[in-house]
């Protein structure tokens, strides 16, 4: 059964690269009018051009998810263009490595501003419009770190735990308005960020560390951005109309099969 998003307006934060780019491409291929919200114009432009070359509809809106005024302005610009907002994917996020003792206040605040407040700002900017429409889908990017303790991920895990709980409460508070809200919880996905992290922290051992990190997933490899995008496409489609208030791990068996 083909999954389509024809006539749907979708906002994807962090839509210019990595998982966000894959989601933007998948949504556009399914017929959605996609608005890529990103700070980095270069990556977003490349994704935008790829979508348009494939015959899809897409637009770039430069916005900082940590700033509520910027997100409200971005939502207003989308509404001016299309008259509605059907889908919001809160994908933008940043990582941090460190324990409680090695995470300073500036690091903690930075993670909070983007990963927690950024998701709040995105939902806040669109929810009243979705209420008026009587429909809408919100998909938040959580993580396996939302539900388990990962070593050296204190601030990051804090932020993703908050994302998961915001997902549950928004799903409950807005179910009567026809708004669905779910979360995705990936394990390690092979993106340019992963390659950069390995190159920075393990110079000369890139291949060794890539293989080591890949094998932490029971399935024996990292996930692909397109695999996350395929699940996002389903959850934001009419085929998933009975699904809300749920977290979907996409983790190669990490949560249930690691012993």
39 and 157 both lie in a single domain: yes
- Band of the pLDDT at 236, cuts 50, 70, 90? very high
102 and 164 both lie in a single domain: yes
pLDDT tens profile 23-65: 999 999 999 999 999 999 999 999 999 999 999 999 999 999 9
Q: Give the chain's mean pLDDT.
A: 96
- Band of the pLDDT at 127, cuts 50, 70, 90? very high
Mean pLDDT, range 66-81, rounded to an integer? 98
Number of domains in the chain: 2
pLDDT score of 69 more than 70: yes
pLDDT tens profile 207-221: 999 999 899 899 999
156 noted as active-site residue: yes
245 and 181 Cβ atoms separated by less than 8 Å? yes
pLDDT of residue 201: 79
Specify if 174 maps to a domain: yes
- Band of the pLDDT at 193, cuts 50, 70, 90? confident
Specify if 257 maps to a domain: no
Q: Which of 112, 120, 124, 156 is catalytic?
A: 156
197 and 132 both lie in a single domain: no
CA-to-CA dists, residue 11 to 106, 133, 237, 242, angstroms: 29, 16, 14, 21
240 and 198 both lie in a single domain: no
134 and 168 both lie in a single domain: yes
% of the chain beyond a pLDDT of 90: 93
Specify if 1 maps to a domain: no
Q: Which CATH number is 160's domain given?
A: 3.40.50.720
72 and 131 both lie in a single domain: yes
pLDDT score of 192 more than 90: no
pLDDT score of 109 more than 70: yes
Cα–Cα distance, 124 to 128 (Å, whole number): 8
Instruction: Give CB contacts under 8 A, 24+ apart, made by 232-236.
Output: 232/23, 232/26, 232/27, 232/89, 232/139, 232/184, 233/3, 233/5, 233/23, 233/26, 233/27, 233/30, 234/3, 235/137, 235/139, 235/182, 235/184, 236/5, 236/10, 236/27, 236/87, 236/89, 236/137, 236/139
pLDDT of residue 66: 98
- Band of the pLDDT at 238, cuts 50, 70, 90? very high
Residue-range definition of the domain harbouring residue 67: 9-187+224-252
Residue 65's Cβ-side half-sphere holds a number of Cα atoms within 13 Å equal to 30
133 and 194 both lie in a single domain: no
Specify if 24 maps to a domain: yes
- Band of the pLDDT at 1, cuts 50, 70, 90? confident
Specify if 67 maps to a domain: yes
pLDDT of residue 60: 97
Distance of CA 68 to the CA centre of its chain: 18
Mean pLDDT, range 137-158, rounded to an integer? 96
Mean pLDDT, range 123-146, rounded to an integer? 98
132 and 210 both lie in a single domain: no
- Band of the pLDDT at 259, cuts 50, 70, 90? low
130 and 206 both lie in a single domain: no
């Amino acid at each position: 059964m083909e999954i389509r998003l024809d006539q749907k307006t979708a906002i994807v934060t962090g839509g210019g690269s990595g998982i966000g780019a894959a989601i933007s491409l998948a949504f556009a291929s399914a017929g959605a009018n996609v608005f890529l919200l990103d700070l980095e114009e270069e990556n977003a432009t490349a994704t935008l051009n790829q979508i348009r070359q494939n015959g899809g509809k897409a637009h770039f809106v430069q916005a900082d998810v940590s700033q509520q005024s910027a997100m409200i302005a971005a939502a207003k610009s989308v509404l001016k263009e299309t008259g509605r907002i059907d889908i919001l994917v809160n994908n933008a996020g940043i990582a941090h490595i460190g324990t409680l003792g090695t995470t300073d206040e500036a690091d903690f605040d930075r993670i909070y501003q983007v990963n927690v407040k950024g998701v709040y700002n995105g939902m806040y900017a669109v929810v009243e419009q979705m209420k008026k429409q009587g429909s809408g889908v919100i998909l938040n990017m959580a993580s396996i770190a939302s539900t388990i303790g990962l070593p050296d991920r204190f601030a990051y895990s804090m932020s993703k735990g908050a994302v998961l709980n915001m997902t549950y409460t928004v799903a409950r508070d807005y179910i009567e308005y026809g708004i669905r809200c779910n979360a995705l919880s990936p394990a390690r996905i092979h993106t340019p960020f992963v390659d950069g992290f390995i190159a920075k922290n393990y110079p000369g051992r890139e291949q060794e560390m890539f293989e080591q990190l890949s094998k932490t997933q029971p399935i024996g490899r990292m996930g692909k951005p397109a695999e996350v995008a395929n699940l996002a496409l389903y959850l934001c489609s009419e085929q998933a109309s009975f699904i809300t208030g749920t977290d979907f791990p996409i983790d190669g068996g990490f949560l249930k099969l690691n012993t």
